[in-house]
Structure 1
Amino acid sequence: MDAEPTLYDALGGMPALRRLSDVFYERVLADELLAPVFANFNQRHVEHVAVWLAEVFGGPEQFTASLGGHRSLLHSHLGLGIRDEHRRRWLDLMSAAVGEALPDSPDLHASVMSYFEWGTAIAQEVSQDPVGTDLGEPGPTPRWGHQGLAT
């Protein structure tokens, strides 16, 4: 019996994740509520998010190798002060972007959005700490599969 493909492969690999990141950030930067949260946004962010998602969903470990891994991602959220309404709006925009940019599959949509639900809760929690906070060693970049967090 063949193993189930990773989410990375099922979604269409790096081209699909770049498309998702592009579609999503177009929406975010045009959004009245979220645009101020991304005031220091630069275009490299779009690519970094795609590289992060590739690693999380079972693809190449390029975020860890080149961009600082899990610790770096968490540190990028320090001091943002993400509120509940920011998180809800972010999830709404991401769900719409997933629907537009990724394969039309309710199962894949649910798997991807379960990661974003989980990850945005962590990002919101970390965002309450001021810049410069020592978050300790968060461990390796998490891996997310069709059934959720891989152990």
Structure 2
Amino acid sequence: MSEHTQSLYEAVGGIDVLRRLGDTFYDGVLADPLLAPVFADFTRTHIEHVAVWLSEVFGGSTDFTDRLGGHQALLRAHLGLEITEAQRLRWMELMTEAVDKELPDDPALRRTVIAYFDWGTTVAREVSADPAGTDLGDPGPTPRWGWNGLG
């Protein structure tokens, strides 16, 4: 059992920190020859959507579900991208660097957030192998990630 009493959302510092995390991360992604092609249609709005997603996953507001289509929309956005394991691992390297730069200096927090990204990128890679238009079924509600993982 974790000694942390705050939600992950509170522990990371809220939506503004999640936006900074996205800015730092995507600056690296867009400059990376392995990952930039995956984000060929990238717009700065993507950073806001990711921040809103992470806010909800980490225990903040439900704005992603309420305004942006929830879990189904996130999964659908990855269909047909054909993300490779090499791309997923590079994504993780750049995100780990961004987490180390932007999140509070709390090793347990950083490990927990990185564990979420490892889980989430694995799901995204699996979903991306299916062609666009595949019926995802009902993936259920937006997942919630806490100090002890998915829950």
Q: TM-score range by the shorter chain?
A: over 0.9
1:52 deviation in Å? 0.2
Q: CA RMSD in A?
A: 1.1
Matches within 5 A, 1:103-114: 103-114=104-115
Match of 2:142? 141
- Corresponding position of 2:93: 92
Q: Which residue of 1 aligns with 2:14?
A: 13
Cross-structure match for 1:128: 129
Q: CA deviation at 1:72?
A: 0.1
- Per-residue CA deviation, residues 1-45 of structure 1 (Å, 9 max, x unaligned), is x97110000010111101101110011001111001101111110
The two structures have a TM-score, normalised by structure 1, of 0.97
2:24 corresponds in structure 1 to 23
Identity within the alignment, %? 60
Indicate the residue corresponding to 1:42 in structure 2: 43
Q: Which runs of 4+ in 1 moved over 6 A?
A: none
Q: Tell me, in whole angstroms, the C-alpha distance in 2 between the residues paired with 1:105 and 1:30.
A: 28
* 1:81-105 C-alpha deviation (Å, 9 max, x unpaired): 0001000000000000000011011
Instruction: Give the unaligned 5+ runs of structure 2.
Output: none
Q: Distance in 2 between matches of 1:58 and 1:79?
A: 29
The match for 2:59 is 58
Task: Say which SS state the counterpart of residue 137 (structure 2) adopts.
Answer: coil
- Partner SS for 1:135: coil
1:40–1:113 CA distance, 2 compared to 1 (3 A):
same
Mark the runs of 5 or more structure 1 residues left unpaired by the alignment.
none
Q: Does 1:73 align with 2:63?
A: no
Letter matched to residue 140 of structure 1: P
> TM-score normalised to the size of structure 2?
0.97
